[in-house]
Amino acid sequence: MTVTGAGPGGRSRGGKVRVKTAKRRSNSSNRWLERQLNDPYVVAAKAAGYRSRAAFKLKELDAQFSLLGQVERVVDLGAAPGGWCQVVLERRPRARIVAIDLLPIDTIVGVTIFEKDILDEDTEAVLLAALGGQADLVLSDMAANTVGHKQTDHLRTMGLIEAGLDMATRLLRPGGAFVAKVLAGGGDSTLTAALKKQFSTVKHVKPPASRKGSSEWYVVAQGYKAPAPIEDAAAAD
């Protein structure tokens, strides 16, 4: 990697890394690379051995909402490259942690990894078997691939969020929690209403590690209201 600048080490006098334009890199790629090089969370993640800066988002959410203190079974949807799993493992080394993603994830000792689509018919059964029971916490940092068309990107993102929520409600134990990346402002009213029906508390938050220019927020839904078993519902009638 080649950087330019007036200061030592390829940095400007203000300490900012400048990326030299390369023929095979677009201007947008150069901007992304420069942002990465100057991002303190990227630097901190590398120093701490985390696979992504996103690890700090979960650490900040945990500090605010006490998500990881007592969990025994955790599912990470869209887990690649594995930064959130690392944080869970760090906090709860004896917990059963199951990760799933369409993308490959390098082995993490202590984490069961599936390269699989959450929409597959057998995904629920596969994850529950790996957990050995219902989950205390379902995490989702999934993001839809964007095509540049605002309405299409919105629909794709909302569809992914809804798929994550559907999976969470099938995996969680009563009282469990769901944490997911959502759109700016927490998604649309339909999603928020669905969450409030199924969880005791629903909060929308933008952790400090989430870039200010990003439209991402996170929803933290705690106190899952698991539906009564069919036989119990029939008895109540």
- Catalytic residue ranges: 181
Whats the size of the chain, residue-wise? 237
Residue 165 and residue 220 in contact, taking contact as beta carbons nearer than 8 Å: no
Shortest CA distance to 101 belongs to which of 90, 87, 86, 112?
Answer: 112
Instruction: Give which of 10, 13, 31 is closest to 22, Cα–Cα.
Output: 31
Three-class SS of 92-116: CCCCEEEEEECCCCCCCCCEEEEEC
Distance CA 79, CA 123 (A): 15
Per DSSP bridges, beta strands 18-19 and 135-140 are unpaired
d(CA 74, CA 96) in angstroms, rounded, equals 6
